[in-house]
């Protein structure tokens, strides 16, 4: 019966947090985040219990956003290589289009403040991708490694490709292509 909690405001906080965490790291003050979201300092805490809660929800939000970007128009019935390429391209495109999200995510990842609950939720959101990787290595050289290892390899190579793209945007396409090729060689049969 009172003013309902607004999804817009929650999103504004997450968006502001993304920008500020990307720029300043986890030290970004909640007061600054709230202000940038156009809200009073205290309002942030009606949407998030405390800073750790905000951080964890932000992590999940960005990861989910990334997953959605990767899975949009996913060519489920094409070849393994096509699907892998689709995932890779979407990943890179997302990272280049939203550098703040990408940076924030890596800050959050190394922060040591993401709880197991959050990482579990995140992992489950990526199960289709994990399944793809699992399939990809069935007969390949990494067949004895856990699928998560292949996922991690992809992430780290993509991260590298994005970093080089960011500092040298003219060569974006080249890094995207070269990165995927390297990845594909890394996990495929010769």
Partner DNA sequence: AATGAATGAGAATTCATTCAT
Partner DNA sequence: AATGAATGAATTCTCATTCAT
Among 10, 15, 26, 135, interactor with a second copy by CB under 8 A: 26
* Residues within the interface to DNA (CB under 7 A): 1-6, 9, 27-32, 39-47, 50-52
Q: Is 185 in the site for a second copy (CB under 8 A)?
A: yes
Q: Which is nearer to a second copy, 94 or 180 (CB)?
A: 180
Is residue 102 a contact partner of residue 165, using CB atoms and an 8 Å limit?
Answer: no
Q: Is 152 in the site for a second copy (CB under 8 A)?
A: yes
Q: Is 31 in the site for a second copy (CB under 8 A)?
A: no
* Per-residue contact string for residues 63-102; x = within reach of a second copy by CB under 8 A: ----------------------------------------
Distance in Å, CB of 49 to DNA, minimum:
7
93-132 core/surface letters (b: 16 or more CB in 10 A; e: else): ebbbebebbbbbbbbbeeeeebeeebeeebeebbeebbeb
CA distance 139 to 144: 10
**Residue of 101, 103, 92, 100 lying closest to 172 (CA atoms):** 92
Q: Is 24 in the site for a second copy (CB under 8 A)?
A: yes
Output the CA–CA distances (angstroms, integers) from residue 130 to 87, 123, 124, 133, 147, in the order listed: 11, 9, 9, 5, 6
Chosen from a second copy, DNA, none, partner binding at 169 (C-beta under 5 to 8 Å by type): none
Residue 66 CA, distance from chain mean position: 5
CA distance 56 to 51: 9
CA distance 135 to 80: 8
- How many helices and strands in the chain, by DSSP H and E? 10, 0
Chosen from a second copy, DNA, none, partner binding at 139 (C-beta under 5 to 8 Å by type): none
- Candidates 47-55, 57-65, 120-128, 172-180; binding stretch for a second copy (CB under 8 A): 172-180
- List of residues contacting a second copy (CB under 8 A): 2, 23-27, 40, 42, 106-107, 110-112, 141-142, 144-146, 148-149, 152-153, 155-157, 159-160, 163-164, 174-175, 178, 181-183, 185-188, 190
């Amino acid at each position: 019966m009172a003013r309902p909690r607004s999804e817009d405001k929650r999103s504004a906080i997450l968006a502001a947090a993304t920008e500020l965490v990307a720029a300043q790291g986890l030290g970004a003050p909640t007061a600054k985040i709230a202000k940038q979201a156009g809200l009073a300092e205290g309002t942030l805490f009606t949407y998030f219990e405390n800073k750790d809660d905000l951080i964890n929800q932000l992590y999940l939000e960005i990861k989910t956003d990334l997953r959605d970007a990767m899975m949009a128009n996913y060519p489920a019935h094409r070849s393994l290589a096509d699907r892998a390429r689709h995932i890779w391209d979407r990943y890179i495109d997302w990272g280049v289009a939203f550098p703040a999200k990408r940076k924030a995510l890596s800050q959050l990842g190394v922060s040591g403040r993401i709880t197991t609950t959050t990482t579990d939720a995140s992992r489950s959101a990526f199960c289709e991708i994990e399944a793809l990787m699992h399939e990809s290595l069935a007969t390949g050289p990494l067949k004895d490694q856990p699928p998560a290892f292949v996922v991690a390899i992809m992430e780290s190579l993509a991260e590298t490709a994005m970093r080089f793209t960011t500092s040298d945007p003219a060569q974006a396409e080249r890094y995207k292509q070269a990165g995927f090729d390297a990845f594909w060689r890394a996990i495929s049969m010769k």
